[in-house]
Structure 1
Amino acid sequence: MDELAEDLELLPATRRALRHRIAVAQSEGRAPSVVAAVLRGGEVVWEGSRTSVEGHGPDGDVQYRIGSITKTFTAVLVMRLRDEGLISLADPLEKHLPGTGVGLVTIAQLLSHTGGLAAETPGEWWERTPAELRPELGDVLGEDPFKLAPGTRHHYSNPGYTLLGSLVEAVRGRPWEEALRAEVLEPLGLERTSGQPQAPHAGGWAVHPWADVMMPEPLEDLGLMAAAGQLWSTTRDLARFAGFLLRGDERVLCAESVREMRTAAAPPEPGLAELGYGLGMQLMAVGARRLAGHSGSLPGFVAGLWLSEADDVAAVVLANCTSGLPASTVAADLVGIVADAEPRFPRPWRPFPESDHVPLELCGPWYWGTSAQVVRLTADGLLELGPVGASGRTARFRAEPDGSWTGLFGYYAGETLRAVRRADGSVSHLDLASFVFTREPYDAEAPVPGGVDPQGWRGIG
């Protein structure tokens, strides 16, 4: 048995707290039904639902519309194209999808909503109108597609993800949904995620704001806008998808690529992406906890999916009401309930395998000027560089065949760290993005930029 498997099952008090949160959400949000799931350690550890309308008894297999969580699925398809070398995120859209009129916007800008495109389509509310009214990309973009200069700030854009869906179709040579099923849904086993509703599925409802009465919402096919919000799914499928977004899956995207999706690529936007926006993922802080995921809504439905990498916990909440129940907030609350009540057990410490060569000469304290840093090598083969006893930049690096190390995230992402050696093979200093790290503060024998005062360290006379 895995050493941590016994800790996956939630305590009764935690399960009750989760049920209570869902009950409060359904009651105060006046939702016909709400269904939720929590994932921990890669396994669904809790499912719950609450309903007050006959015929709306949901469980983890009932489909709800997930709105803009669809964008994260579309982003996965785009990242697959990048990883296969078919596109670069720095490519202008025109290179792969000519004739749109907005072709200078880069693929990365579209993924992170920094392309300056309008938030919505021109004309009527696209979520409640037939797709036939938008048969061409020009109908989605309109005559004035730009609201801001590209690359200047984050501005959420539904048409931007329509362009990404069309990009996938152009490069793959097949419809967006067909590519999604073959490349993402089937490999991950998401059998209850689809472009059109499949029974059993919930109906979408509008609840009157001042009276306890309801009215059905139209369920429109979004047509060209599908890549921005078309999908239907279940809490079980979305929990499995959240696990993929935490760990990656070599059949779809590697762990490093999904980590890149969870990394801020755009500046913050209060109330929507408080820590910025990644590549198809919103980023949010709840207290000291950092969350990644996405919210979603379409007439008749609200949805939320959030995950905490540090806690290895994710939660999904789906409801069939146009407004009232804050599904995204509730999903974040479920993550917090589990993470706070039952903190994650750290993985057991393990040493390097006996057969591995460990470059011990890199370990220990180093100095960038007078700033004390420390290098550690971990059994997973990564190098960690961080400050000693003070706040500062912390980074992890991956070993390369030539003996160098490549930064994995943060300030040093993609940067190269090299151990510069003396003629006798001993390490003189570390070189990282023009920074020189020495064994002593301002080591006179190392090539410190600007040199070192020949009189050395001294007190006041």
Structure 2
Amino acid sequence: MTAPDGGAGDTAPDHGAGESAPGLLAGGQSAGEGPAGLVRAVRTPWFGWTECAGHRTVRWEDGVRVGEEPMTAGTHHDLASVTKVVATTTALIRLVSDGLVSLDAPVRTYLPDCHDGISVRDLLLHRGGLWEWWPLYIRPEQPPPRYRPGHERHYSDLGFVLLGQVVEVATGLPLDRAVAELVTGPLGLRSTRYARPAGPDVAMSARDDRIEMDMLDSGRPYPVPFRSADFTGWRREPVSGQVADGNAHHASGGVSGHAGLFSTVPDLLRYCAALSAYREHDRLWRPEVAREFFAPGPDAQQALGFRRYALPLRDETVTVLGHPGFVGCVIGFVPDRDIALVLAGNRLLTDGPPVPTDTLWHDLLHDITERSRTV
């Protein structure tokens, strides 16, 4: 399930669940209904905070959303497309550093059945020309490219499905084991793993599979030649402790290059801090390779795997590297600046249109900009 496209120490004050955090869960008529629960965590050299509000699970009584277990800073979250960077992109930084993968090699070097004319770099830049989305649980074979490879950016889940397979071929390991050995283990991310949360405190991801069913039946945002009746394995109950993304869950057992990771805000902060201090981790990757992944590509807001965001601070504007996820998580870091940012929510637990993940993220960036002007 893809969107259409789309330090400081631990002494910062925390806002517990239920405390007032002005506007934290607000959506607004134009933006959509706010998430049931939300955690926002910021670490910078000048200030930091963790805010937590709302509920990690909900139920409906007579059509009304009723909160149950509160959201906490330690809640496990379905990362959705944040998996693309925490797992796949970071694994590739290591594999490129070790000479096991070449960015400019044709993907067919690793996956002989892949379409010709597409490089590993193209897929990381979302310039592989592939379809943005395709229900692999209905037809497992990827369709021919939708666009001319290498010429335009078209955000694609399918490209990262292939990149996850490249990681498997290069390591000789299943993707979940490869990511554990290359990324989560070395970085000490003990609460980050594929397919299911590492603990019982988990945020509900979605009400059921209704969003993906509607994508098929409406043909929006991608006009694939299938309907929901073509698949019989839909989840009709709340999705909790399973990845919401249909391709990751129904087609890949919860383990894919584009989605499937669960993690916590503390783990994600640790990841972002490590990427910000990438030079200090030269036992894991070559710093010059990391810098190549961080650099802007032909599309200014896209690096190799990472999205790029402008963050105005008091005296300068810095570039945040990160990625959003459809369920409601976003991460970001600023290389060499000891800045780590995490947002985690369950925005799909609504009756109407949910607030976009990007709206929640840009609200956080705005708040950081305003705070920077007061220190």
Taking structure 1 as the reference length, the TM-score comes to 0.59
TM superposition shift of 1:176: 0.7
Aligned equivalent of 2:329:
303
Match of 1:259 among 291, 315, 333: 291
Q: Distance in 2 between matches of 1:184 and 1:251?
A: 12
Contact conserved, 2:331 with 2:341, CA < 8 A, in 1? yes
In structure 1, what is the equivalent of residue 321 of structure 2? 292
Match in the other structure for 1:164? 163
Using the TM superposition, give the Cα deviation of residue 318 of structure 1 relative to its aligned residue in structure 2, in angstroms: 1.3
1:38 matched to 2:42: yes
Aligned partner of residue 187 in structure 1, secondary structure: coil
- Taking the TM superposition and a 5 Å limit, the aligned residue runs for 1:73-222 are 73-100=87-114, 102-121=115-134, 124=135, 131=137, 133=138, 139-142=140-143, 145-198=144-197, 199-206=200-207, 216-217=238-239, 219=242, 221=249
Distance 1:26 1:203 in 2: 22
Larger radius of gyration: 1
- Residue deviations 1:406-432 (CA, integer Å, cap 9, x gap): xxxxxxxxxxxxxxxxxxxxxxxxxxx
Alignment partner of 1:188: what SS? coil
Segments of structure 1 that go 5 or more residues without pairing to the other structure are: 13-17, 210-214, 268-274, 346-461
Question: Does the Cα contact within 8 Å between 2:310 and 2:318 map onto a contact in 1?
Answer: yes
Structure 2 CA distance for partners of 1:29 and 1:140, relative to 1, 3 Å: farther
- Number of residue pairs matched? 308
Please state if 1:279 is matched with 2:299: no
For 1:11 and 1:255, locate their aligned partners in 2 and report how far apart those are by CA, in whole Å. Answer: 33
Report the alpha carbon displacement of residue 105 of structure 1 after superposing the two structures with TM. Answer: 0.8
Shift of the 11–311 alpha-carbon distance from structure 1 to 2, 3 Å rule, reads farther
1:112 offset after TM fit, Å?
0.9
Distance 1:171 1:310, change over 3 A: closer
Structure 2 letter corresponding to 1:294:
H
**1:232 paired residue number:** 262
For 1:229, what is the secondary structure of its paired residue?
coil
Partner of 2:147, secondary structure, is coil
- Give the direction of change, closer, same or farther, for the CA distance of 1:11–1:318 in structure 2 (3 Å limit): closer
Q: CA deviation at 1:159?
A: 0.8
Residue number among 318, 331, 345 corresponding to 1:319 in the alignment: 345
Give the TM-score normalised by the residue count of structure 2.
Answer: 0.71
Whole-Å Cα distance in 2 between the matches of residues 260 and 92 of structure 1? 18
1:337 paired to 2:367:
yes
Q: How far 1:79 moved relative to its partner? A: 2.0
Question: Which amino acid in 1 is paired with 2:193?
Answer: S
Structure 2 unaligned regions, length at least 5: 1-6, 15-19, 59-66, 212-236
* Equivalent runs, 1:440-459 vs 2, <5 Å: none
> How much does 1:276 deviate?
2.8
Distance 1:44 1:229 in 2: 32
Conserved? CA contact 2:277–2:338, under 8 Å = no
Say if 1:295 and 1:222 are closer, same or farther in 2 by CA, change over 3 A: farther
1:336 is displaced (CA, Å) by: 4.0
Does the 8 Å CA contact 2:194/2:261 hold for their aligned counterparts?
Answer: yes
C-alpha distance in 2, partners of 1:86/1:23?
44
Q: Distance in 2 between matches of 1:337 and 1:11?
A: 16
CA–CA separation in structure 2 for the residues paired with 1:50 and 1:11: 14
1:374 maps to what in 2? none
SS at match of 2:105: coil
How big is each residue's C-alpha offset from its partner over 1:18-59, in whole Å with a ceiling of 9 and x where there is no partner?
932424359973322112211224x99322211155433122
- RMSD (Å) for aligned C-alpha atoms: 3.5
Q: Is the 8 A contact 1:48 1:59 kept in 2?
A: no
8 Å Cα contact 1:118/1:146 also seen in 2 = yes
**CA separation of 1:333/1:161 partners in 2, compared to 1, >3 Å: closer, same or farther?**
same
Q: Secondary structure at the match of 2:192?
A: coil
| SS of corresponding position for 2:26 | helix
Q: Report the AA paired with residue 314 of structure 1.
A: A
Change (3 A) 1:289 1:85: closer
CA separation of 1:94 and 1:200: change in aligned 2, threshold 3 A: same
